[in-house]
Amino acid sequence: MIVEHTVREQTLLISLLAAHSAAILLWVAGTASRRKALVTASVWTFAAAFALNGVLIVDRWLEAGRAPFKTLYETLLFYPWCVGVATLILLALHRLRVLIPFSSAACIAGLAYAMAKPDVEIVNLPPALQSAWFVPHVVTYFIAYGALFLSFVLAVLAIARPAWRSEETGKGFEEHAHGAVMFGFTALTLGVVMGAVWGKEAWGDYWTWDPKENWALVSWLAYLVYLHVRMVRGWTGRRAMAVCASSFAAVVFTYLGMSLLPTASESLHVYQQP
Amino acid sequence: MRDIHFQEPARSMNIRLKIDPATAVRIRSSVLGVFVVTSALVAAGQAWSAARGTALASPGAIVAAGLLALGAAAVFRRPLYAWLVSLPFSVGLLGAILFATALGTVIVQGAPPEAFTAKYGTFLAGAFRAVGLEDVFHSFAFRGLMALLALSLALVVVDRRGWRRSEWCFSLNHAGIIVILAGGLVGSFSGMKGFIDIHQGQVARSFVLRDRFDRPTSQSIPLGFGLRLDKFEIERLPPEFRLYVYRKDGSGFKPASSRGMAEATAWTEAGEAGRSYRLIAAYPDFEMTTEVRDAPEGTGAPCLQLKAVDRDGNIHSFTLVAGEAGRDAAFFPESRTVLRFAWEESAIRISAETAPERHIVMFRRAGTKGAFEEAAMTPGEGRASLGGSDVAVLAWYPDFAYDSATKTGSSRSPEPRNPAVRVSIQPAGGPAVEDYLFANNPGYGDADGTTIGDLQLRYRYEPGRKPADRDVVVVGATEEVLDFRHGVLKERGALPAKRTDKIARGVNATVVRMSACAEEVHVPVTRSRKWRNPVAEIEMRASGKVEKKFLKAGMPLDLGDGRNSLVFQPKPDDVKSYRSQVSVIFEGEPVSKETISVNHPLSFGGYRFYQSSFRREDPSYSGILVVKDPGLPLAYAGFVMICLGAIGRFYLQPWLQKRRQRQVA
């Protein structure tokens, strides 16, 4: 009996939603009751969900015979994994357990969106996407998106709790938000450059003022504005964090808002809605 | 001191100009300043396009305006410099570029003027045009912002003395952008983009230039060499047939589900009428064959199933049914033999007698419903008086065709496929009328017959009887084979015991099965493994009843709700690669053979050639994009610089710093 891939994928998706929900509940319960064990359990649940998400991606990769980053649905399975990577890195480096409920909520949002808009089938990769740049370009970008999501969460936390300092490291949310931006911005730069080089190989131009490219530039410029603003006297703290948090809007729009643009119909990057 | 500082005091800014606190800049005023500068650039751009072609745009005037601007800059050089190298300026400028870029995606770019006005209305379209928003990225103002960015970056690098070792990341980042912009500038001045439309076997020696919106111009640029398209090929993935449910969505149908053949073997509910389907089998090269099976007593007929091989090696399978006119014999043209099947010898009607063909003219009085009278006539011979009219058959056409040019009838072949006669009818006391009568189509229009004068006429063709050269009869009951030549029995033998032996000498057929009481069953088979005529055999379940159906590829099967249909079809987008095999021709000689495919352009003679398009209806066509960009190495150098710069600035430098601190400690 063949276990159908679609059934397997649905099962994995539902398990993932359950795991992330459990991570949130454990964190809330642990924080409210001040029980460290529950928060630790929440972290491990999150890590398990991340591993399961990895299984989901590998399964689809094997089923498709290509990297599963072609359609909106496929990236919606990948985005939570990237949020997971960024979260686990920050957990390992700075013990920022406070990120768990936010990251899990973002994962749930992405996975629920994926479940609401599933692909009808695994589509073939068109010739333009059959390139060595496909995987590094997309992976770099989504890692950037994951890190920048965390910078957004941390910036909001920095605005809400400017005085908070980590017991272990003595750092506040602002420093962590800045760290996430540095990581995300570096990945964004590498991603946009890889995209440009790939564009040159595939379509003859490294920059064509295509809407997705333009919004990638807008996101990049938004974080560049943040990086410069932060160095101006009087603009650290809440003001810089507000710029940091609002820059994430450009990322979200770049990822999901392209089909709203009147110029998108000619774009090569816009995810076609099935 | 300026009102700026850095987070890390160790890397404080090196200020070479003493700046008065009064000229210090703040973010808010800087953003305002950038806005003013941008507006000035927009105004300058519009003034330039208005003045173009008039005396105002003379070289002298441009030089004068330039000198004026330089003079103003020289007078205010200190505050201007301080502003251009300040962080608030960078924030303002980046913000302006960000905003302009976003606007360029919200407003349709490079549309033809009429379409642009139609989309936004006269007022908005006019307003957008006034500030260059109909083509943001090529506008004077946007380019001005880019120039300002390059200038500011250059000043910042100089101001911070970026050549010092400690500043390598800062310089890589900031100079990297300048280098990319320089690459873009070089590309826009000396680069070009064009297109070659080419067919297999043709040689392109030039390309059609394209404008910045990728639209073809009337200008043709010689390449300096030839590019011959030797072959264009589209490589496809092996077809993957699936069962799709299409749902009506507005005006069209969209796929609602797709199941591979393995998955589709399980029952699946589809549509809104509670129907389920499952795949039983898929036939790549479908053919419905008939098989003979024993039937219960009294229901079937004697059947002989045969397999014959023709001269070309094709295998034909057919079934003869005894006693059923038209199905009891088959003709073997190669041996001019009729193979017949009868269950008993007494049923055989073969004789050496011959009978000529007959032409029967049928007639009755027009307007009556009585029976037709008949008269046998010979074409071209004699006349007869039929029902009071004088009738003659003038000519016979075995396979009638009407030539509308000459307005005459003729016969396409000697085979009696469409027998017709030309008749002449002369009613008593009237003039003679000529017309055609058709055996297959009596009285075209009037099914009862053709009315001429007071007669209604029909024509019947009776083919003559002539014994076949050879009749081979299989007698089922006695398992005998009778061999007739020209209607005379010449030989009598037994049906071969070994079924693989030929039925008779010269007849390349073997018996597959013979039965006294059998019925024919239709059996689906696939002729080959190639997807020539794909058909899915499915079962459809509706309110407990299961029905078997054959679903031909691409033919929708309604799922009973008028909204959903089941379709068996291959997965779309099956193109794996588009490839143009080309030869570069230099001074009349092919110098190299290359392959251009998507993601693998060909570089030659300073150009890059990209596989860009194809035409479904024209398989020998290939569309090749030609790009020349001398600024590319600069742009790539800039890319490398900003990548290294970003990694260095955010990771390498802090790490090195930490290490140094640790060493000091």
Tens place of pLDDT for every residue, chain A, 274 residues?
Answer: 345 778 889 999 999 999 999 999 999 999 999 999 999 999 999 999 999 999 999 999 999 999 999 999 999 999 999 999 999 999 999 989 999 999 999 999 999 999 998 888 888 888 989 999 999 999 999 999 999 999 999 999 999 999 999 887 889 999 999 999 999 999 999 999 999 999 999 999 999 898 999 999 999 999 999 999 988 877 888 889 999 999 999 999 999 998 888 877 656 565 544 3
My answer on whether B142 and B167 are in the same domain is no
Examine the fold and report which residue of A78, A93, A125 is the final residue of a domain before the chain moves on.
A125
My answer on whether B265 and B374 are in the same domain is no
For A117-210, where are the alpha helices, taking DSSP H only?
134-160, 173-203
Look at residue B14 in the predicted model and tell me its pLDDT.
Answer: 35
- Chain B residues in contact with A187 (beta carbon < 8 A): none
My answer on whether A187 and A112 are in the same domain is no
Q: Nearest Cα to B46, choosing from B104, B116, B129, B136?
A: B129
Look at residue B469 in the predicted model and tell me its pLDDT.
Answer: 87
Q: Which of B91, B107, B575 sits opposite A127 (nearest CB)?
A: B575
Distance (Å, whole) CA B77 – CA B14 = 18
* Percent of chain B with pLDDT strictly greater than 70: 95
My answer on whether A148 and A101 are in the same domain is no
Substitution target in B13, B26, B97, B98 with the highest count of A β-carbons within 10 Å is B98
Residue whose pair of structure tokens reads 């980042």 in the numeric block: B173
My answer on whether A139 and A217 are in the same domain is yes
My answer on whether A143 and A24 are in the same domain is no
Least confident of A146-160, A242-256, B5-19, B398-412: B5-19
My answer on whether B419 and B295 are in the same domain is no
My answer on whether B293 and B278 are in the same domain is no
Its sign, for the CA torsion A68, A71, A76, A79, is positive
My answer on whether A118 and A63 are in the same domain is yes
Taken as a whole, chain B contains a residue count of 665
Does residue B157 belong to any structural domain of this protein?
A: yes
Structural domain count of chain A:
2
Q: Please determine, for residue B23, whether its predicted confidence score (pLDDT) is greater than 70.
A: no
What residues contact residue A139 under an 8 Å CB cut-off, 6+ apart? A69
My answer on whether A170 and A203 are in the same domain is yes
For B16-139, where are the alpha helices, taking DSSP H only?
27-51, 59-75, 77-84, 87-106, 113-130
- Say which residue, A201 or B314, is predicted with more confidence: A201
Does residue B246 belong to any structural domain of this protein?
A: no
My answer on whether B14 and B142 are in the same domain is yes
My answer on whether B31 and B155 are in the same domain is yes
Distance (Å, whole) CA B415 – CA B419 = 9
My answer on whether B24 and B95 are in the same domain is yes
- Chain B residues in contact with A73 (beta carbon < 8 A): none
Look at residue B54 in the predicted model and tell me its pLDDT.
Answer: 75
Alpha-carbon Rg for chain B, nearest whole angstrom, is 45
Does residue A274 belong to any structural domain of this protein?
A: no
Does residue B427 belong to any structural domain of this protein?
A: yes
Q: Which of A196, A197, A202 sits opposite B598 (nearest CB)?
A: A202
Examine the fold and report which residue of A75, A92, A125 is the final residue of a domain before the chain moves on.
A125
C-alpha distances out from residue B384 to B19, B389, B427, B443, Å: 129, 8, 12, 21
Residue B616: half-sphere exposure toward Cβ, Cα within 13 Å: 2
Q: Please determine, for residue B174, whether its predicted confidence score (pLDDT) is greater than 60.
A: yes
- Chain B residues in contact with A130 (beta carbon < 8 A): 576-577, 598-599
Does residue A256 belong to any structural domain of this protein?
A: yes
For residues B399 and B463, the answer to whether their CB atoms sit within 8 Å is no
| CA–centroid distance for B413 within its chain | 41
| The most confident of A237-241, B227-231, B321-325, by mean pLDDT | B227-231
What residues contact residue B626 under an 8 Å CB cut-off, 6+ apart? B193, B194, B195, B196, B207, B223, B607, B608, B609, B610
Q: Please indicate whether, in this complex, the C-beta atoms of B625 and A229 are within 8 angstroms of each other.
A: no
Q: Please determine, for residue B206, whether its predicted confidence score (pLDDT) is greater than 90.
A: yes
Instruction: For B86, name the nearest residue in chain A, comparing CA atoms only.
Output: A232
Residue whose pair of structure tokens reads 């302009």 in the numeric block: B100
Q: Please determine, for residue B113, whether its predicted confidence score (pLDDT) is greater than 90.
A: no
My answer on whether A117 and A219 are in the same domain is no
My answer on whether A22 and A98 are in the same domain is yes
Examine the fold and report which residue of A125, A145, A169 is the final residue of a domain before the chain moves on.
A125
Sequence-separated contacts (24+) of B264-268 with Cβ below 8 Å: B266/A4, B267/B541
Paired strand residues for B399: B418
Three-state SS sequence of B108-119: CCCCCHHHHHHH
For A33-167, where are the alpha helices, taking DSSP H only?
36-64, 72-94, 99-116, 134-160
What CATH number does the domain containing A205 carry? 1.20.120
My answer on whether A11 and A83 are in the same domain is yes
A214 touches chain B (CB under 8 A): yes
Q: Are strands B557-558 and B216-236 parallel, antiparallel or unpaired?
A: unpaired
Q: Which amino acid is at B38?
A: T
Q: Is the ipTM of this complex over 0.90?
A: yes
Q: Which of B6, B95, B650 sits opposite A225 (nearest CB)?
A: B95
My answer on whether B366 and B502 are in the same domain is no
Instruction: For A120, name the nearest residue in chain B, comparing CA atoms only.
Output: B257
Q: Are strands B275-283 and B535-542 parallel, antiparallel or unpaired?
A: antiparallel
Q: Nearest Cα to B567, choosing from B551, B550, B585?
A: B551
Does residue A47 belong to any structural domain of this protein?
A: yes
For residues B621 and B615, the answer to whether their CB atoms sit within 8 Å is yes
My answer on whether B281 and B297 are in the same domain is no
- Chain A residues in contact with B643 (beta carbon < 8 A): 189-190, 193
**In Å, how far is B198's CA from the nearest CA of chain A?**
18
Paired strand residues for B492: B482
My answer on whether A18 and A108 are in the same domain is yes
Residue A117 DSSP SS3: coil
My answer on whether A13 and A118 are in the same domain is yes
Least confident of B175-189, B299-313, B626-640: B299-313
Structural domain including B69 reads: 9-161
Structural domain count of chain B:
6
My answer on whether B68 and B98 are in the same domain is yes
Q: Which two tokens stand for residue B283?
A: 């036939």
Does residue B242 belong to any structural domain of this protein?
A: no
Q: Please determine, for residue B453, whether its predicted confidence score (pLDDT) is greater than 90.
A: no
- Chain B residues in contact with A201 (beta carbon < 8 A): 599-601
My answer on whether A89 and A40 are in the same domain is yes
My answer on whether B276 and B380 are in the same domain is no
Structural domain including A85 reads: 1-125
My answer on whether B559 and B583 are in the same domain is no
